[in-house]
Amino acid sequence: MKPPNVQASAVSRASPPVILFAGGLLACVALVAYQNSFSVPLIFDDLPAIRDNPTIRQLGSALSPPHGSGLPVDGRPVVNLTLAINYAFGGLEVRGYHLVNLAIHLAAALVLFGIVRRTLRQPAWRQRYQDAALPLAFMSAALWAVHPLQTEAVTYVVQRAESLMGLLYLLTLYGFIRSADPGASRGWPILAIASCGLGMASKEVMVSAPLMVLLYDRTFVAGSFREAWRQRRGLYAGLAASWLLLGWLVLGSGGRGGTAGFTAGVAWWQYALTQCTAIMHYLRLSIWPHPLIFDYGTELTTRPGEVLPACLIVAGLISATVIALWRSPGLGFAGVWFFAILAPTSSIVPVATQTVAEHRMYLPLAALVIPAILAIHRWLGRLAWVAFAVLILAGMGLTVGRNGDYRSATAIWSDTVAKRPDNSRAHCNLGDALFLSGKLTEAIGEYEAALRLKPGYPEAHYNLGNALLSSGRLEAAIAQYALTVQLIPTLAKGQLSLANALAQAGRLAEATVHFEAARNIDPASADVQCDWGTALARAGDIREAMGHFEAALQLRPGFGKAHNNLGNALAQQGRLTEAAMHYEAALRIKPDDAEAHNNLANVLAQQERVPEAVQHYEAAVRLNPNYAEAHNNLGMALAQLNDLRGAREHFETALRIRPDYSQARENISRLGSAGR
């Protein structure tokens, strides 16, 4: 292959206003497609990676994401940092997270637009595409941006790991392309190297970026690997250096908490066979994006004969890619792009938690969209622009529709169960969503369905125990928690929940065994100490309970529940001033804690500070209108202040909430006809 004339490879300048207009139009297209994604709640891995992730609470700890957790932020400090920035500006308000996700996606689409436009104006392609380079680049980037297969990487917040890596991958290539122009600024190679390093700290899939830049150079710029290395060896050394960072991060994550790699408990050959069918599925979804499935589960192919056709097709596509690298280098580059970016997750290295995932197609989709756009343009001529418009409008509509499936956790998991009824994890997560929405009977049904599909599923046993406990079936809940700890004795939350349930059943001696087990598993857990203290207080051992509450506060000084419970213990001992101090501390930590307001009011009332008590009782019923005890207590305080009408209203409210509330009924009787 003869290297093209490098001097002739400078991109002819299009009119800046036209380029800006195309970029603005691309932004509008993406915004319309994702306009209904901003209120999508945090779901699935969003919860532990964002809601329960202490490292994003402070920017100083953001570059040290939870180690060995297996979460999407584990070993990916740049992703964790962006989440911390979101948290700093808006806490857990979801709109900010979705706005950043869409901004990342739009930026990636704009960079892809620039890459395609400049590639089509390289010497080898200029004669064929010079006049249509900009509109073809726009159509390619627009269709890629609004393709519904991209929704998981954009709408599912924590998959920012995929889209951010994608943006940085594209910026690495774009920085190289600009650096190869005659007279280019020295800033472009710096952009390429910096983007490559940041990408390695965003997701491991970035590993192929230096090689893809080298292949692009050989294919479109230098004409051969030797010439590419001769001209830009410094750039390639800088790009390759980013592998050191990636290696350090991968080793530090410990195989992503044992969920990825050859030690993840999954046979590499089973995973490889599964990926043959997965790749064929990805190709089909690229052409016909239905059905889109949020979670495919963890099932593996165990019979080679079942996937032989898919394996042969994938092998044929790889062989065709190798041949095309010499006979049709541009098409060969697209094929390598597709397989190289999928390789880290869709080859022989197992990812135990996700055998198939649509977000993995975020960048590989470009290798299918761009050749398709060029082929349609070549075959249909002027009619191609009509076809492109139809495809983009269809993509926008389908993306809006798919985003609607994410409107709630119940909706997305119901959609997943409907499309993947044999997915035990989907049933379990649908159970969680139903449980949180108060639909206990339906939640129990989903947990039981998960256990029918996967007997011995610890998470389903544990969650079923929670649902049974909430529905008042204490002994059945104890049985499920016992199964959980039998399956995973080292699960601290399982031991703690079993201990709490046993204590609630009056079986304190048995509960103590499991409290001790939970403490031994997680000595730094303030929750274990607090719950243990609560069980002891319920049994009347106030002095011992106080020791556990104090231990909880030593472990976590800002633990509102422990302050509240210690206040209760002190109040029982008549130490009202000290009790009030702990209730006030609980309210400083959590001002909307209705129980702490009610408890503080009780102490104030005992100290004959009734007007102050009324203020806190009113805060309690305002925060929790169904708080029967607070309504009754407020009624008694108002009666002391001779507000008999107000007192009667709150006694009656308490009785409406709890028809069996005898104290409220007695208080109404004492009022007689007064206050009517």
Mean pLDDT of the chain: 94
* Mean predicted confidence (pLDDT) in 173-200: 96
- The two tokens of residue 405 are 């499936």
pLDDT of residue 433 exceeding 70, the answer is yes
DSSP state, residue 13: P
pLDDT of residue 24 exceeding 70, the answer is yes
Confidence of residue 1 (pLDDT cuts 50, 70, 90): very low
Confidence of residue 676 (pLDDT cuts 50, 70, 90): low
- In degrees, rounded to 5, the angle at the alpha carbon of residue 592 between the alpha carbons of residues 407 and 550 is 115
Confidence of residue 10 (pLDDT cuts 50, 70, 90): very low
Helix axes 133-146, 383-405, angle to 10 degrees: 20
Give the model's pLDDT for residue 4.
Answer: 42
Give the model's pLDDT for residue 255.
Answer: 63
Give the model's pLDDT for residue 260.
Answer: 67
* Mean predicted confidence (pLDDT) in 645-657: 95
* Mean predicted confidence (pLDDT) in 635-661: 95
Give the model's pLDDT for residue 263.
Answer: 66
Confidence of residue 285 (pLDDT cuts 50, 70, 90): very high
Give the model's pLDDT for residue 415.
Answer: 98
Give the model's pLDDT for residue 126.
Answer: 81
Nearest residue to 150 (alpha-carbon basis) of 285, 257, 310: 285
Query: 540, exposed or middle or buried, with CB in 10 Å at 0-12, 13-18, 19+?
Result: exposed
The string of DSSP letters for 18-40 reads HHHHHHHHHHHHHHHHTTT-TTP
pLDDT tens-digit profile of 538-557?
999 999 999 999 999 999 99
Confidence of residue 9 (pLDDT cuts 50, 70, 90): very low
Place of tokens 């104090």: 550
pTM: 0.90
R_g of the chain, CA atoms, integer Å = 31
* Mean predicted confidence (pLDDT) in 244-252: 93
Domain chopping of the chain, boundaries: 7-404, 489-590
Q: Which fold has domain 489-590?
A: 1.25.40
Q: What totals of helices (H) and strands (E) does the chain contain, helices first? A: 33, 0
pLDDT of residue 23 exceeding 90, the answer is yes
Beta carbons within 8 Å of 141's beta carbon, 6+ residues apart: 26, 109, 110, 112, 113, 116
pLDDT tens-digit profile of 557-578?
999 999 999 999 999 999 999 9
Q: The dihedral of CA 53, 59, 61, 64: what is its sign?
A: positive
Give the model's pLDDT for residue 6.
Answer: 40
pLDDT tens-digit profile of 496-514?
999 999 999 999 999 999 9
What Å distances lie between residue 360 and 36, 310, 369, CA to CA? 23, 19, 15
